[in-house]
Structure 1
Amino acid sequence: MNKKLLGIMLFIVLLIIVLGAVVIFMLKGNANEDGNKERSIDEVLESVVEIQEITTNLKSDNVVRLSLKLETDSPEAKEELEKRDFQIKDTVISILANTTAEDISGTKGKDKFREALKEKLNSNYMKEGKVKEIYLTSFNSQ
């Protein structure tokens, strides 16, 4: 009788483990489908704000000229960013005023600039959504 009871308990434990794994797999699969869904280029363009050319001095007395496109997470965020155009430009100029030409050169420097800008915009200005990506569409340093 002990062997029979032990077998039943072992079966129940294995059944619980298998059912738990199936539930976790299904929940994780649904989360990935929603979070990692690739948007079409038309959907991306519906949430992109273009910032016209900005020319400013760097900390190192160099001059930089750049244009940006900011991808938001929703059409509402895009509308908000369009209204905040002057604040975006001010933030870009402020960041670059404390940046040397060496700091912003190369891929790592530009990535660091993008991250700093995104963090400042999201934390200081955005109420209706977030800036997801920042694209440098033009960049010239002299």
Structure 2
Amino acid sequence: MFNNRLVNIMLVILITLTLIGALTLVLYTQVFQESVAHGEPTIDEILRTSVETEEITTNLLSNHVIRTQFVIQLDSTRAKTEFEKRDFQVNNIIIQELSDMKESDFRGSEGIRSLEKRVKDRVNEIMLDGEVVGVYMNRRIVQ
């Protein structure tokens, strides 16, 4: 390669050390490094991406009145920003869903879970930047 044998040995050693370093870096980042847990978010993350709706009062199908409030958890802060801009659409969706329910639907937890799922699905239909992760009924008074 080169005329000087010492330069050849030095180049082989430098290339070998570079390859060992690159291999070590790849192994460290791919195999030995702990993977970030993508499980349940912390309560601080949930609060950072959650929005509380205004209190909504509307009639039910059974001529009762309900006063309710929801906390809606989103998947990102961008989704939260969009959600806050769409609050009038979200309130409309909630009123429509409540208007189709009877007072008896709120006696057990199954009716509440069903309402939360329907609201989540319908709000996700209008969201462009992210999605709703969870809907929680925060307050409910049926009269």
TM-score range, shorter chain: 0.7 to 0.9
Give the partner amino acid of 2:48: E
Once the two structures are superposed, what CA deviation does each residue of 1:76-102 show, in whole Å capped at 9, x if it has no partner? 111011011111110111111111111
Name the residue aligned to 2:47.
Answer: 45
Aligned length in residues:
110
TM-score normalised according to structure 2 size: 0.72
- Compute the displacement of 1:105 (Å): 2.5
1:50-69 equivalences in 2 (<5 Å): 50-69=52-71
**Corresponding residue to 2:122 among 97, 120, 123:** 120
Offset at residue 103 of structure 1 (A): 2.1
**Pairs within 5 Å for 1:1-142:** 33-34=37-38, 37-123=39-125, 125-142=126-143
Unmatched tracts of structure 2, length 5 or more: 1-30
- Secondary structure class of the residue paired with 1:52: coil
5+ long unaligned stretches in structure 1: 1-25
Distance 1:90 1:38 in 2: 30
Shift of 1:40: 1.6
Task: Report the structure number with the largest CA radius of gyration.
Answer: 2
C-alpha separation in 2, matches of 1:103 and 1:58: 10
Q: Deviations over 1:25-47 (max 9, x none)?
A: x9xxx7x943xx22221111110
SS in 1 for 2:83: helix
Q: Matched residues in 2 for 1:67 and 1:48: separation?
A: 13
Higher helix share: 1
> CA–CA distance in 2 between the matches of 1:92 and 1:104?
15
| Identity within the alignment, % | 35
Q: Does the CA-based 8 Å contact 1:47-1:78 persist in structure 2?
A: yes
- For the residues of structure 2 that align with 1:105 and 1:76, how far apart are their CA atoms? 36
Runs of 4+ in 1 over 3 A off after TM superposition: none
Q: CA deviation at 1:63?
A: 0.3
